[in-house]
């Protein structure tokens, strides 16, 4: 796999591939034999998470905090991808 190819994949794709290849879970000695969710299901679920936050907090007194909340949610996925990549 080339460096260019690695840069074009999303963080979610990297996480899913690592989990699928190695079935790795921290603090568990055995690989998890269960299948991963379908990529389209993951994509939809992640989009729904962000849509729910935006639609719930828009036009409320919490709207000023929305940008920070969305970035925090994004960072959760990035940390998961980084942890899985170790």
Q: What is the pLDDT along the chain (86 residues), one digit of tens a residue?
A: 555 555 678 878 877 787 777 766 655 667 767 787 888 998 899 999 999 999 999 999 999 999 999 999 999 988 887 876 65
Please tell me the chain's helix, strand, coil percentages from 3-state DSSP, rounded to the nearest 5.
70, 0, 30
Give the whole-angstrom CA distance, residue 38 versus residue 42: 6
Chain centre distance of CA 69 = 15
Identify the pLDDT of residue 65: 96
Q: How many CB atoms lie within 10 A of CB 37?
A: 12
pTM: 0.58
Whole-number CA gyration radius for the chain: 16
Q: How many CB atoms lie within 10 A of CB 16?
A: 19
Identify the pLDDT of residue 71: 96
């Amino acid at each position: 796999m080339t460096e260019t190819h690695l840069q074009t994949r999303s963080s979610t794709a990297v996480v899913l591939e690592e989990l699928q290849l190695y079935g790795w879970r921290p603090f568990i000695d055995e690989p998890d034999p269960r299948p991963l969710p379908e990529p389209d299901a993951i994509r939809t679920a992640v989009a729904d998470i962000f849509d729910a936050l935006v639609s719930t907090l828009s036009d409320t007194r919490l709207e000023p905090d929305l940008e920070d909340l969305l970035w925090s949610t994004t960072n959760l996925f990035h940390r998961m991808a980084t942890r899985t990549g170790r």
